Every structure is written in structure tokens, then in C-alpha cells.
């Protein structure tokens, strides 16, 4: 580093107001890059390079060339063939449609419930605040695979306590694995797992609202409902946007829940959601090339969608307006 | 519910009078909603605990919510711990290693990057930040095989590093650190430090990090839980079951093949044992879950 | 100062890389793990062979070998099973990391062969050909080339609940027509939620075994081209047979191996189970309380007086093409799959039904399985049934066909459409995939 000696000299010299600015600028210019280095190195190595490699893979395929009845499989360049096959498969669009339905169920339900619980926690004179808060946060401790398995047990009629409870009361139990109810069943697992975390996010944001605002509102005669509607929810906008964005990203990547439930029922195929199709291509059909092509296509769509949403919401979400 | 609310406040307009009278009256509507929510969240998890008390024969024949007192729990725990030559203990220790070491390293890396993004103005800052954030858009399923193949070229697959290193890049953590650094570290303090002649890394260590500490603990806890519960990455990278974390180990118990039944009782017992430490973590470290970071620096 | 910062960063990177190197060499996880580095440090002293397998408790079986052969040590790596293991083997082979010995299901072997992962071992194992029945040997050869040695076979048989049959006055079916009539009888006489058995959309291997019994040939090779016959007469008739039973509500339609199915097997909701010889082991894990209530008989036949059955799965041991210690691997595989002590160990310790003829009648098989103490001659019967079993040739894309089976039959069950439609979907998808992959397909 050629700047070393100059830096040392500047450190020892008495500070000069005017000249002092320039050595500070020189320190500052490369320091942030050094701070960023480990993160950028890891990012490049484990995100960028694999993405580039996946893109390269998406242009290739394993094809049989001569050599006996079973042939020899060689990896060859196939151009955009993988993309055209993936994008012309109606199943892909069907899965995208299902993902949309799933998202429309999950995001409002999860955020709505989280908001409701957060508002309830923030009200005065509420009992058992601590216990219920921990209780609602509990599913965060359960990994996705286990959560899906345990809900699978709760959904399957013969082993389900839900069904036994309905039987005891004399009502017909709901069929959790029907062609439409399956969306609710899968969405429920995601909501169950995520509502606690989102609730805490919103609750801590609520706690940060200065109480003077409430006093002023009360003096004006607002009841609790109006306080919530007129003051709390608007001030929660950043939190709502943040949790909304992360919920949408999670929806785009839904995989664990349907994949774990698939063997238990006849209504979830191996490509029910887009990421399941990618997994099936890569790990069941041993065709990482098609999987790569579908992934890149999907990632492109996600990226465009997210950029749109982020640009629109940027100022509210990132608090960059000082 | 609105009735309860209006009755509670159907008092003279003086705010203070309402609050004093109301202090001894519980808001049952809200409490009820919260209790229902807590039940919805806790009961399924409770099922795991109850089901782990059942022996294989009982699991599918008895009522799900009544625990078995015939020593099923002991049998399951014994069976689980003995399985595969104490594989479960190894898995638990592996998970502790991945989550513990991984979260500490992530915090260091993210704090460093977040601090730089927050407190310095440099070319490409916003672009880098957006690129890092875009990283959350790429699902692990897509990255899995390319990551595996690339790591194989440097001979790192199947090692502890193959699971640790990819876990260290967490765009979410960097985002949180940036937000917290912006909110918690006054520029004047850094300027004063520079005037006094402190170097940049010294500033980071002595000024920034202590101020960021509460936020860093939150990041640590979040990343700890995320790595603890991670499944797909170790599933792809690891071939030696000695290095499996709990998630992959339990999944392997489920998928033994067409001619082997799934070891449901062992999986459920294992799941129960692996959830317990996280619950303890939540309970003991409640006050460190400062998730107000996520609302985007509202307090500023 | 950023100089110190820089040096800290660089130092951290160096330490990380160094630790990585240390870790890899300490754990012995360098590529071709265990295949090349002898433990003693000098070549020829001791050979380490890695064996990727999933057979239950096979470590104990291999321990016998390791004790007797200190110069050839075999280590078991149990990381996945069935199709998942194939994917890992393929990925590992791409990275140069594959083990010497691979446990593979018969239908997955063509994929390994086509990718050049397993070695042609025709010459190495010419001597042990006679240790195996024809049906079994055919499962690992293509033309005259042998690519794996059969380890276990799984001839299909019918397990039924003897007590429940007695309770409802039901007769054991010997033909599929009788089976259909029996299914209707069960729906009449038994509880409303009881069925004779279930049709599983999740087990293509099961359906393949039934097709084999019906005389189907899903893949045939002619010269260098393939002919796909998934929708041939036999399979279509089979599919429609089960389709009719399901649509009339005479047979249940839930997938197997779910908690729901486990509970149904436990409480007698399903009275019978067409399965393979290893079904007794599964029942032990799934429904241990029903021990002694089951009996096994040969599968119902399509024509009275016939005596054929199919295979549900089964697997063998293959040696990888890049294995450096071919000789030692051959020695081990010969021992594992033909020697009396290994076969006995496989039966008693791993619960496997050996493919080798000698293994089907050893002393280990004189006791009936735990779940069928009421049938002391179980294994004798099994051996007879094994002699009547036939498989078919597996083509290069069985995984595609199997995956389509799951999706197509799920859709047929849910939509109430004929099962022969699902078979046609399987046929079309399999043919299209073969053509995409570059194989020649003839009609």
C-alpha cells in the first residue's frame, strides 16, 4: 500500500483544519471498501458465481451420443432449447397461477393477523401480554420441514386430533386435502410459522410511537379504535411495507411446505409450485440443465417484480429520507 | 369487540379519568384475541411434545392429544439417542457448531459491511447495497447444485466449511446492521474520533461496534435461528451423515426407502428435542429481540 | 488506520483458507475420499473402499468382512437412499468425488451406466453367474454386459389379515377376478371405512411389479434403438382394472407410507396389502401390534392356474468406473452377495431377501419373520414365489416414467378419469424424453 507512509506522516503531524480534510478523505476513500470486502467476497463466491454458473448450465444439456444401447452421455451446448422447453410447458404457468392464489391467501392473512395481534398487545389493560407474545412467537423455533410434517399429522383424518374433536361434537370434519382446500391448508402452515415474527416486528415499531400522540388524540375524544386506525396504522407503514416485501419474497420461493405434504396426498403434484418443479428437474429427473433454465427464468421474473415494488416503496421502506 | 372498546371509553372527555378508572378493568376482548392466537400457535407445537411420548404402536392408534404414560417417551428418547451409533448427539453438536460459529461470523461480516454502507459515502454504495439485497431473491434451490459443483472444484464439499461459508452471506443481516448503524452511531462522534487521529479500523472497533451492540445481538439471534433451522443447504452439501445438522438428520430418518417405514416416532422425538433449545433461547433472551430495527429506523 | 484493517482482513482470509485446508486433510475429505490414500501411508498396505448404501444395519454385516480382511477395509456412507442416492452419485461423479462401491436400485442402474459412472464388470464376475436365478441376473445386465451384482430381490406376494378375513367370512383370492369380487364383498360386509386394499399413486415401483406380473415390457431394445411399451395391452388392462375398482369405490385411493396409511394398517382399515417379501419388515415398523394376524400367500393371478409374479424394487451393488481398486472391490462384492456368511448376515441383521439362490434357503431363513409367527414356512414359500418372478428391462429414463406415474395417477384419482389415460401420459412423456435426450425411439 503506497499510501501507508503518507498516512503515518499525517497521523503524527498536528491536525490542520484545511489540510486535515484531505488525508481524512484519503483514509475514508478506501476504508469502506475494506470493510465491505468479506461480505462482497462471500457474496461473489456463493451468490454471483453460482448464478453465473447456473446461467451457463442453462445453455447446456446432457445428450446421448453413440456407444451401445445405453449410449454415452455428454454435456453439450444446446442454446436456448432448455428455455423454450421450460417456458412452453403449460405446467409452469399452472404452477405460477397456483403461486399467485397461494400468495393472495398468505400475505394478507399473515400480515393481517400479525397487525391484529400487535395492536392488541399495544392496548392498555391487556392481561397475559408476555405469555401470549411468547406463545405466538413460538412457531418461529420450528424448522419448515418439521412444521409441515406436524401439520400433515394434523390434517390427515385418521391421526388428526382436529377430526376427533369434530367427531366428538358431531360435526363433519373439514377435508384439508381437497382440491381447493389444499391452498388454505398449505397457506395455513406458512401463516402459522410467520405470524409471530411479523407480529414482533410490528409490535416493536408500535412501542416506538411517542405516547404524546395518544394523549393528544384521547383529549380530542378518540376511542381506542380510532386511535388504532388514525395514528398507529399509518405510523406503522414502514413496518408493514417491510414485512409485506419479505412475505412476498417468501411466497415466490414457497417450497418446503408443499414438498413435504406431497407424499401424503393426491392433490399436490411434483410441480405444484414453481420451485418444486425446479427441484424435481434437478434432483429427481437428474436434469440440472432444465432446472437451471427454469430457475433463471423465474429469478428474472422475481427480480423485475421486486425492483418495481422496491422502487415504488423505497422511500417509505428504507427510511433514507433524513 | 368495538362494543367493549366504546364502553371502556364512554366516559367524560377527560383522558385521565378514563385511564384511572380503567386500570383495574381487564380488556377482555383484546386479551381473548391474544389468547386465541397463542393457542393457535402453541397447540400444534404442543402436539409434537405429546406425540413424542408415544411408542410406535401407539402413535397411530391413540388419540393425538392425550400423552402416553406407558414409558413411550423414555423408549423414544433411548431409541433416538441410540440410533445410528448416537447419531442424534452428533447432529445436535453439528447444529450447535453451524449455528453458533456461523452466527458469530455473520455478525462480524455484516456489522462491518453495514457500518461501511451506513457511515461512508463512496462510489457504488447504493448499487452494492441493492445488489446485496437482490441476493435474497435467489432461492437456495437454484443455487444448490452450482454451489456444490463449484465447491467440489476446490475440494471443500462434504466439509463443515461447505455449510458454514454459504451461511455467512446474509443480505438481511447486512440490511439490519446498516439500519442500526445509521440510527445508533452519530456522525459527530466519528468525526471527533478522526480529528483525534484515530484510524478507521480503530473507529470501527472502539466507537461503532459498542454502539451497535444491541442491534448486533438481535442479528446474532436471528441468524442463529436461521442457520439452526436451515435444511436445504446442508442437505445438498453434506454426504457424510456424521456432519449432518438436526434438520437433515431428522429428514433422513423419514426417508429410508420404500422397503423401510419412516421412523416417525424417532423424527417426532428428535424434533421435540431440537425445538427445546430454541424455545429456551427465546425465553431467556427476550429483551434482546430488538426487532424495531426492521421498521426502518422509525425512531430517528 | 485502514492499513491495519486491510491486514486484518487479509489475515482473516488466509486463516480461513488454511483452516479449510487443515479441515479437509484432517477429515480425509479430499476428492475420491478413501479411495486413494492408504491409511498406512505406504502403497499396497491397506486399501480403503467407500460404499454408499442405505441397507439397514449393513455396517454390522461389513464389520464381519473388515475383521477378516484387514488389508481391504470397507467404510459405509449412508447419506441417502434410492433415487436421491443416484443424484448424489451422479453429482459426485461430475466432481470426481464418487465412491468405489455404489448401492443402486435395479431401475436406476441404466442412468448410472449411461452416464459412465459404473464399470462394465462382465469379465470380473463371470464365475458367479450361476449363483443367481435367471430373473435376478437379468436385472443387472444389458445384452451381454453386466454392470452390477444383484444384492436383494423383492418378489411380490399378497399379505392379508387372517383374523379379519375369518371375521367377515372372506376367501383368499387366487385370481384377480376373485380379488375384484372380494373387494366388493368387503365393502358390503365390513365397516364403512374399511377397504380390501388401497391403490397408491405414490409407488410406481409397486405398479411396475404388478405390470411385470401381467406380462408387460415397458422398455425393449432393438439394436441401438428403444421401443417404449408402457401403454401396451397388458399394462393398459391392468390400469383399467384398478381404475374401475377405485372409481366404483371398491378400493381405497390413498398413498402408502403416510401416517394415515400407517394408522389404517394398524387398525385394520385395510385388510390386505399386495407387497413384496420385505413387507414383513415394514409391517414390523408400521403396525407392530398386529403381529401374528397377517398371512402371506402368492399374488392373485390373471388366469387360473398360472403362477407368475413381479418384483417391487430390489437393488444391487455396482463398482464405479473410476475406482482405483477394482480387484479388491470385486472381491468384496463377491463376498457380500454370494458368500454364505454374508448372505446369512444380510438376512438376520439387515432383513434383506438375498438375490443369490443360496441365500434364499439358508439356516437364517428357517425362522419366520417377527410379524408372521403364525406362518413358520414363510421363507420356504417366499423362495418358491421368487422362482416364479419375472422382471423387465429397464430403460434409460425410468426416473422420468416414475415421476410421471406419480403426477398422472394423482390427477386421474383426483379427477376421476380413467387410469388408462394416465398410462398414455406416462407413455408419451417417456417417449418424448428419450427423444430429447438423443435416443432413437421406434414405435
**Chain B CB within 8 Å of residue A125 CB:** yes
- What count of CB pairs under 8 Å joins A to C? 121
Question: Which chains would you list as touching B if contact means 3+ CB atom pairs under 8 Å?
Answer: A, C
Quick check: C263 and B61 CB within 8 A?
Answer: yes
Q: Per the structure block, which three cell numbers stand in for A254? A: 414457497
Residue C168 to residues A166, B52, C117, C177, C196, Cα–Cα distance (Å): 30, 36, 54, 19, 12
Other C-beta atoms lying within 10 Å of the C-beta of residue C357: 17
Q: Round to whole Å and give the CA distance between B101 and B245.
A: 13
Clarify whether residues A113 and A83 are in a common domain.
no
Residues 6 or more apart whose Cβ sits within 8 Å of residue C202: A263, C255, C256, C257, C406
B103-121 pLDDT tens trace: 999 999 999 999 999 888 8
B131-189 pLDDT tens trace: 888 787 777 777 877 888 788 778 787 789 999 999 898 888 898 888 888 888 888 88
Q: Round to whole Å and give the CA distance between B241 and B224.
A: 22
Which positions in chain B touch C313 (Cβ < 8 Å)?
A: 258-259
Give the pLDDT mean for A237-252.
85
Please report which helix (H) or strand (E) contains residue C101, including its range: strand C101-105
Clarify whether residues A73 and A108 are in a common domain.
no
Q: Which own/partner pairs from B125-131 qualify as long-range (CB within 8 Å, at least 24 positions apart)? A: B125/A32, B128/A36, B128/A40, B129/B178, B130/A310, B131/A43
- Maximum distance among all Cα pairs of chain B, rounded to whole angstroms: 76
- What count of CB pairs under 8 Å joins A to B? 319
Q: Round to whole Å and give the CA distance between C255 and C381.
A: 28
Instruction: Identify the domain containing residue A6 by its residue range.
Output: 2-50
For residue A14, pLDDT beyond 70:
no
**Chain B CB within 8 Å of residue C17 CB:** no
Quick check: B158 and C29 CB within 8 A?
Answer: yes
User: Residue C44 has what pLDDT?
Assistant: 55
Q: Round to whole Å and give the CA distance between B263 and B254.
A: 6
The interaxial angle of helices B264-284 and B72-82, nearest 10 deg, is: 90
Note which residues in 47-106 of chain C have CB less than 8 A from chain B.
52, 54, 56, 77-82, 84, 88, 91-92, 94-97
Clarify whether residues A81 and A149 are in a common domain.
no
For residue A21, pLDDT beyond 70:
no
Clarify whether residues A153 and A194 are in a common domain.
yes
Clarify whether residues A297 and A212 are in a common domain.
yes
Number of structural domains found in chain A: 3
Q: In this structure, what DSSP letter does residue C170 have?
A: P
Q: Complex ipTM, two decimals?
A: 0.80
Quick check: A132 and B169 CB within 8 A?
Answer: no
Q: What is the CATH number of the domain that holds A99?
A: 1.10.3720.10
Q: In this structure, what DSSP letter does residue C35 have?
A: T
Q: What is the pTM of this model?
A: 0.83
**Chain C CB within 8 Å of residue B45 CB:** no
Q: In this structure, what DSSP letter does residue C155 have?
A: B
The interaxial angle of helices A161-169 and A144-155, nearest 10 deg, is: 30
Q: Which own/partner pairs from C21-30 qualify as long-range (CB within 8 Å, at least 24 positions apart)? A: C23/B159, C23/B160, C23/B161, C24/B155, C24/B156, C24/B159, C27/B159, C29/B155, C29/B157, C29/B158, C29/B159, C29/B240, C30/B155
Percent of chain A beyond pLDDT 70? 87
Q: Round to whole Å and give the CA distance between C185 and C169.
A: 10
Min Cα distance A94 → chain C (Å) is 14
User: Residue C12 has what pLDDT?
Assistant: 43
Min Cα distance C351 → chain B (Å) is 10
Could you tell me how many residues make up chain C?
443
At C49 the three-state DSSP class reads: strand
Flag residues of chain B having pLDDT under 70.
Answer: 1-24, 64, 84, 255-262, 287-300
> Which one of B131, B194, B282 has the shortest CB-CB distance to A134?
B282
Quick check: A134 and B286 CB within 8 A?
Answer: yes
C-alpha distance across the termini of chain A, in Å: 36
Q: Per the structure block, which three cell numbers stand in for B63? A: 388419540
**Chain B CB within 8 Å of residue C19 CB:** yes
Min Cα distance A1 → chain B (Å) is 15
> Which one of C6, C12, C114 has the shortest CB-CB distance to A70?
C114
Q: Domains in chain B, ordered, with CATH?
A: 73-295 (1.10.3720.10)
- Tell me whether residue B95 is exposed, middle or buried, using C-beta atoms within 10 angstroms of its C-beta: 0 to 12, 13 to 18, 19 or more: buried
Residue C410 to residues A265, C53, C77, C211, C259, Cα–Cα distance (Å): 8, 30, 34, 18, 18
Quick check: C29 and B204 CB within 8 A?
Answer: no
Clarify whether residues A175 and A83 are in a common domain.
no
**Chain B CB within 8 Å of residue C31 CB:** yes
Clarify whether residues A191 and A289 are in a common domain.
yes
Please report which helix (H) or strand (E) contains residue C52, including its range: strand C47-52
What is the separation of C-alpha A159 from the centre of its chain, rounded to a whole number of angstroms?
A: 31
**Chain B CB within 8 Å of residue C13 CB:** no
Please report which helix (H) or strand (E) contains residue C296, including its range: strand C294-298
Q: Round to whole Å and give the CA distance between A280 and A286.
A: 8
Clarify whether residues A21 and A155 are in a common domain.
no
Min Cα distance C363 → chain A (Å) is 38
Identify the weakest region by mean pLDDT among A114-123, A297-306, B168-177, C317-326. Answer: A297-306
Q: Round to whole Å and give the CA distance between A268 and A177.
A: 9
Clarify whether residues A35 and A175 are in a common domain.
no
Quick check: A35 and B292 CB within 8 A?
Answer: no
> Which one of A35, A279, A282 has the shortest CB-CB distance to B113?
A35
Q: In this structure, what DSSP letter does residue A283 have?
A: I
Pick from C260, C267, C403 the residue to mutate for testing the A interface (most A CBs within 10 Å).
Answer: C260
Give the pLDDT mean for A148-153.
88
Whether the CB-CB separation of C139 and C150 falls below 8 Å is answered with: yes
Clarify whether residues A77 and A215 are in a common domain.
no
Q: Which residue of C has its CA nearest to A150?
A: C259
Quick check: B158 and C81 CB within 8 A?
Answer: no
Q: pLDDT of chain C along its 443 residues, tens only?
A: 344 444 444 444 443 333 333 333 333 333 333 344 434 334 457 899 999 988 878 888 999 999 999 999 998 887 777 777 888 888 888 778 889 999 999 999 998 988 889 999 898 888 888 888 887 888 898 878 899 999 999 999 999 999 999 999 999 999 999 999 999 999 999 999 999 999 999 999 999 999 999 999 999 988 888 999 999 999 999 999 999 999 999 999 999 988 889 889 988 999 999 999 988 888 887 888 899 999 999 999 999 989 999 999 899 999 999 999 999 999 999 999 999 999 988 888 887 889 988 888 878 788 888 889 999 999 999 989 988 888 888 998 898 999 999 999 999 999 999 999 999 999 999 999 999 988 989 98
Residue B94 to residues A43, A301, B86, B247, C273, Cα–Cα distance (Å): 24, 37, 13, 11, 40
Clarify whether residues A74 and A113 are in a common domain.
no
**Chain B CB within 8 Å of residue A303 CB:** yes
Which positions in chain B touch A50 (Cβ < 8 Å)?
A: 143, 146-147, 150
Which positions in chain B touch C92 (Cβ < 8 Å)?
A: 152, 239
Buried b (16+ CB within 10 A) or exposed e, C153-170: bbbbbbbbbbbbbeebeb
Q: Per the structure block, which three cell numbers stand in for A40? A: 462482497
Amino acid at each position: 500500500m503506497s499510501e501507508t507512509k503518507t498516512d503515518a506522516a499525517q497521523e503524527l503531524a498536528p491536525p490542520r483544519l484545511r489540510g486535515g480534510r484531505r488525508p481524512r478523505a484519503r483514509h475514508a476513500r478506501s476504508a469502506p471498501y475494506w470493510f465491505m470486502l468479506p461480505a462482497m467476497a462471500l457474496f461473489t463466491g456463493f451468490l454471483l458465481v453460482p448464478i453465473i454458473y447456473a446461467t451457463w448450465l442453462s445453455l447446456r444439456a446432457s445428450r446421448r451420443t453413440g456407444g451401445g444401447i445405453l449410449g454415452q452421455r455428454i454435456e453439450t451446448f444446446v442454446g436456448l432449447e432448455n428455455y423454450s422447453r421450460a417456458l412452453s410447458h403449460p405446467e409452469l404457468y399452472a404452477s405460477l397461477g397456483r403461486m399467485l392464489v397461494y400468495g393472495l391467501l398468505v400475505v394478507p392473512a399473515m400480515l393481517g393477523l400479525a397487525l391484529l395481534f400487535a395492536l392488541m398487545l399495544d392496548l392498555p389493560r391487556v392481561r397475559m401480554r408476555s405469555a401470549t407474545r411468547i406463545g405466538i412467537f413460538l412457531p418461529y423455533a420450528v424448522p419448515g420441514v418439521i412444521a409441515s410434517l406436524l401439520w400433515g399429522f394434523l390434517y390427515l383424518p385418521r391421526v388428526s386430533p382436529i377430526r376427533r374433536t369434530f367427531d366428538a361434537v358431531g360435526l363433519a370434519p373439514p377435508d384439508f386435502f381437497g382440491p381447493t382446500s389444499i391452498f388454505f391448508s398449505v397457506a395455513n402452515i406458512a401463516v402459522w410459522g410467520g405470524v409471530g415474527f411479523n407480529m414482533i416486528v410490528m409490535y416493536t415499531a408500535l412501542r416506538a410511537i411517542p405516547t404524546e400522540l395518544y394523549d393528544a388524540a384521547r383529549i380530542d375524544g378518540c376511542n381506542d379504535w380510532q386511535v388504532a386506525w388514525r395514528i398507529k396504522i399509518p405510523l406503522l407503514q414502514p413496518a408493514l411495507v417491510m414485512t409485506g416485501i419479505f412475505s412476498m419474497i417468501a411466497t415466490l420461493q414457497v417450497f418446503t411446505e408443499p414438498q413435504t405434504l406431497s407424499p401424503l396426498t393426491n392433490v399436490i403434484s411434483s410441480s405444484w409450485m414453481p420451485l418444486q418443479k425446479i427441484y424435481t428437474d434437478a434432483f429427481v429427473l437428474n436434469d440440472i440443465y432444465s432446472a437451471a433454465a427454469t430457475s433463471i427464468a423465474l429469478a428474472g421474473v422475481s427480480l423485475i417484480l421486486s425492483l418495481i415494488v422496491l422502487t415504488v416503496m423505497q422511500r417509505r421502506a428504507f427510511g433514507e429520507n433524513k | 369487540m368495538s362494543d367493549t372498546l366504546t364502553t371502556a371509553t364512554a366516559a367524560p372527555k377527560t383522558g385521565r379519568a378514563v385511564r384511572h378508572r380503567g386500570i383495574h378493568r381487564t380488556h377482555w376482548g383484546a386479551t381473548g384475541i391474544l389468547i386465541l392466537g397463542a393457542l393457535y400457535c402453541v397447540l400444534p407445537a404442543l402436539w409434537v411434545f405429546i406425540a413424542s411420548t408415544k411408542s410406535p404402536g401407539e402413535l397411530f392408534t391413540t388419540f393425538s392429544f392425550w400423552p402416553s404414560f406407558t414409558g413411550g417417551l423414555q423408549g423414544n428418547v433411548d431409541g433416538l439417542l441410540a440410533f445410528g451409533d448416537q447419531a442424534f448427539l452428533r447432529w445436535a453438536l453439528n447444529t450447535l457448531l453451524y449455528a453458533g460459529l456461523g452466527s458469530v461470523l455473520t455478525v462480524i461480516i455484516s456489522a462491518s459491511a453495514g457500518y461501511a454502507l451506513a457511515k461512508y459515502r463512496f462510489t457504488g454504495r447504493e448499487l452494492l447495497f441493492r445488489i446485496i439485497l437482490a441476493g435474497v431473491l435467489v432461492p437456495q434451490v437454484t443455487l444448490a447444485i452450482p454451489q456444490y459443483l463449484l465447491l467440489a472444484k476446490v475440494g471443500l464439499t462434504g466439509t463443515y466449511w461447505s455449510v458454514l461459508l454459504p451461511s455467512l452471506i446474509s443480505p438481511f443481516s447486512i440490511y439490519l446492521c446498516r439500519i442500526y448503524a445509521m440510527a445508533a452511531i452519530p456522525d459527530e462522534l466519528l468525526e471527533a474520533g478522526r480529528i483525534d487521529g484515530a484510524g478507521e479500523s480503530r473507529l470501527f472497533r472502539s466507537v461503532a461496534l459498542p454502539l451497535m451492540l444491541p442491534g448486533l445481538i438481535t442479528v446474532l439471534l436471528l441468524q442463529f435461528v436461521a442457520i439452526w433451522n436451515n435444511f436445504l443447504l446442508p442437505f445438498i452439501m453434506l454426504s457424510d451423515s456424521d456432519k449432518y445438522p438436526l434438520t437433515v438428520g431428522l429428514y433422513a430418518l423419514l426417508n429410508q426407502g420404500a422397503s423401510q417405514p419412516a421412523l416417525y416416532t424417532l423424527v417426532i422425538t428428535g424434533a421435540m428435542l431440537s425445538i427445546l433449545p430454541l424455545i429456551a433461547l427465546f425465553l431467556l433472551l427476550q429483551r434482546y429481540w430488538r426487532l424495531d430495527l426492521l421498521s426502518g429506523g422509525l425512531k430517528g | 488506520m485502514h492499513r491495519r484493517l486491510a491486514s486484518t482482513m487479509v489475515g482473516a482470509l488466509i486463516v480461513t483458507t488454511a483452516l479449510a485446508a487443515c479441515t479437509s486433510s484432517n477429515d480425509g475429505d479430499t476428492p475420491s475420499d478413501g479411495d486413494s490414500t492408504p491409511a498406512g501411508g505406504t502403497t499396497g498396505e491397506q486399501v480403503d473402499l467407500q460404499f454408499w448404501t442405505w441397507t439397514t444395519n449393513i455396517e454390522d454385516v461389513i464389520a464381519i468382512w473388515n475383521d477378516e480382511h484387514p488389508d481391504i477395509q470397507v467404510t459405509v456412507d449412508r447419506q441417502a437412499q434410492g433415487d436421491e442416492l443416484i443424484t448424489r452419485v451422479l453429482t459426485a461423479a461430475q466432481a470426481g468425488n464418487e465412491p468405489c462401491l455404489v448401492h443402486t436400485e435395479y431401475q436406476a442402474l441404466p442412468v448410472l451406466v449411461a452416464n459412465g459412472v459404473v464399470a462394465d464388470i462382465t469379465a470380473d464376475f463371470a464365475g458367479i453367474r450361476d449363483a443367481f436365478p435367471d430373473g435376478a441376473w437379468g436385472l443387472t445386465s444389458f445384452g451381454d454386459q453386466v454392470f452390477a451384482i444383484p444384492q436383494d430381490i423383492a418378489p411380490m406376494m399378497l399379505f392379508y389379515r387372517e383374523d379379519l378375513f375369518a371375521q367377515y367370512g372372506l376367501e383368499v383370492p387366487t385370481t384377480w377376478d376373485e380379488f375384484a369380487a372380494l373387494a366388493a364383498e368387503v365393502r358390503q360386509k365390513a365397516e364403512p371405512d374399511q377397504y380390501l386394499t388401497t391403490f397408491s399413486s405414490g409407488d410406481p415401483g409397486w405398479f411396475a411389479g404388478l405390470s411385470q406380473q401381467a406380462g408387460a415390457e415397458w422398455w425393449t431394445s432393438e439394436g441401438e434403438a428403444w421401443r417404449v411399451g408402457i401403454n401396451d395391452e397388458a399394462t393398459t388392462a391392468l390400469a383399467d382394472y384398478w381404475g374401475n375398482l377405485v372409481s366404483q369405490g371398491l378400493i381405497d385411493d390413498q398413498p402408502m407410507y403416510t401416517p394415515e396409511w400407517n394408522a389404517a394398517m394398524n387398525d385394520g382399515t385395510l385388510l390386505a396389502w399386495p407387497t413384496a417379501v420385505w413387507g414383513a419388515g415394514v409391517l414390523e415398523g408400521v403396525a407392530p401390534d398386529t403381529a401374528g394376524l397377517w398371512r402371506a400367500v402368492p399374488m392373485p393371478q390373471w388366469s387360473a392356474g398360472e403362477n407368475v409374479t413381479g418384483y417391487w424394487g430390489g437393488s444391487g451393488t455396482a463398482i464405479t468406473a473410476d475406482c482405483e481398486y477394482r480387484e479388491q472391490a470385486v472381491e468384496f462384492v463377491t463376498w457380500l452377495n454370494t458368500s454364505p456368511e454374508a448372505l446369512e448376515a444380510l438376512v438376520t441383521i439387515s432383513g434383506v431377501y438375498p438375490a443369490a439362490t443360496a441365500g434364499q434357503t439358508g439356516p437364517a431363513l428357517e425362522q419366520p419373520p417377527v410379524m408372521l409367527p403364525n406362518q413358520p414356512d414363510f421363507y420356504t414359500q417366499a423362495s418358491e414365489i421368487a422362482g416364479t418372478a419375472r422382471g423387465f428391462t429397464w430403460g434409460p429414463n425410468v426416473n422420468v416414467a416414475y415421476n410421471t406415474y406419480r403426477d398422472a395417477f394423482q390427477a386421474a384419482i383426483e379427477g376421476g378419469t380413467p387410469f388408462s389415460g394416465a398410462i398414455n401420459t406416462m407413455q408419451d412423456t417417456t417417449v418424448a424424453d428419450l427423444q430429447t435426450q438423443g435416443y432413437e425411439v421406434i414405435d
